[in-house]
Every structure is written in structure tokens, then in C-alpha cells.
Structure 1
């Protein structure tokens, strides 16, 4: 017997992300792909800003919604500095432009080497409303000025309601 597709919402841009377990309460900006096909990040000038990949599903819509944020900037810790500490069952609330708050439940938190990043697993379309939160992690390479890994939170839409 086929499993039902689960809850899903119509398309609506995200406005705010709240993750109480790690102290996140931030607005969104849209991000897109670079000419080489990599995902852009929010500007480094704002440490408390999440980036939503507008080319994918909106949070709560059927499919995979991708949200990125910095772990740090030159001036200190940023929005997703504690992302790696989330645990299965923790919640992520995203308030949308339509006034609905989509609540996601964390399924897993994993770190992947940037050299062997599983694009298909992270970015693949989904038959249900999925969320991916992505930031840098692992060792910071001082010569390339980049972290060598990414931390990815896998979550699914749990509930939704008017804010």
C-alpha cells in the first residue's frame, strides 16, 4: 500500500525562521545559483540572515526547500553557528508571507565533506514537504579561506497553522 504524501502547503515565500533550541530568530533573503551552478549564500554583512533558494520549493510546499546560513563571518558567530547541535525531534518554525507558520521536525543532522557532497541526496525533489538547512562546518582551511565540510539538517513538515 502506498504511503500518503503527507501535509503540504501552497507556495509562499518565507519571512522568518525560528529555531528555539539554538537561539535562531531571523529574517530571510532570496538566494540563487551562481553561473557555475553552486548555491549562493546570504551577504556576509548580516550575521542574522537566512537565505532561501527561490528556485526550489517554498517551506511547507511539496518538494525540497533549501535554506542556507553562515556559521560565522569576519566579525563573529552567525545565524547557524549552533546548527550542528540540533537533534532529531527538534523543531524549525518558518513564518511565510501567507501568514502560515510551517513547523518542521528534524530527522537528522549530518556533516559532509565539500569534496564529496551528496548533491542528489540533499537537493533532490521529494514527494513530501521537506526542508534542508545548510551551513559550513568541519575544519577551516586558512589557505583557501573556506570550511572543508557542510552541516546539513534534514527535516520534514510536521504541522502548520496561522500565526
Structure 2
């Protein structure tokens, strides 16, 4: 990890987290330290997130999984790489990425300014964004990046699920 780059990051970040499992009232909105990626991990600055039904199950304790407290909730994100924990990482600072595998299994979640993501659970985002009024949101959790980019809908395995562009 490059210390010069790390020193350019804030020390704290906004976050939605819980200190105990429970209902929605257990969520605290406050500040937590910006996490530092370890070997095989990447620090992502969160730009877009979605609310996933799994988030509720984990937060409430209905889905048993390790939850180190304070525990940042949220499974899905799209953002940009800020730091890598290993020089051999396939990602570099500035890379646009997405993930739909946080907030369970002991991994902190996405509802924060930054998130540490295992590199093998991170994927590149499309290179050409669609901006302005043509942006669209999709409810499917696999579409977090599509929400960020306003692209046409795609199902699993990249198959189009609509023949229309957003707004049509």
C-alpha cells in the first residue's frame, strides 16, 4: 500500500452501522474510521449503493453470519478504487468497480464513504457512463453498476432483459 496515497484519505467517513443486531431503529448514522485494505483487499470509495433484502436479514440477525461490531450494513456498491492492499492486485487506484458481496460473512458493508472489498469479489465497471436525464435505476441487486451508469437492463450472464434504453 502506498503511504502517500493513504495520507490523502480522510481519517473518518460517514457510515450507517449497527452496534447490536435488531430492527431498523438499531441503525446508527455517524462516523467511523476509514478502513485500511490488507493483502488481497482493495479500498473502494463508494459512489452508489443499493438496499438489498439481505441487508435486513443480516442486520436483524435472521441470517446468521459473523457481524463484527460496529458493523457497517449493506451488500452492494459501485465506486472507484482508492488503495490496494497488495502490489499484485489486479486493480489500481482510479479503477471503476462494483461489488455485490459485502455486509455478511464477517465483511463490513457498503453503507459508508469507503469499503474494503476482497479483490476476488470486485468487478470492473463499464468504461462509458451515460449521464444526465437518461440515468435509470433497476431494483435487481445485480444491477448496482447499471444504476450508476443508467445502462439498459441486463440479467445474469449479460443477457439483455429489455430491448429499450432508459426512458423509452
Which category describes the TM-score, using the shorter chain as reference length?
Answer: under 0.3
Larger Rg: 2
TM-score w.r.t. structure 1 length?
0.25
The TM-score with structure 2 as length reference comes to: 0.25
Normalized per residue, the structure richer in strand is 1
User: Is the helix fraction higher in 1 or 2?
Assistant: 2
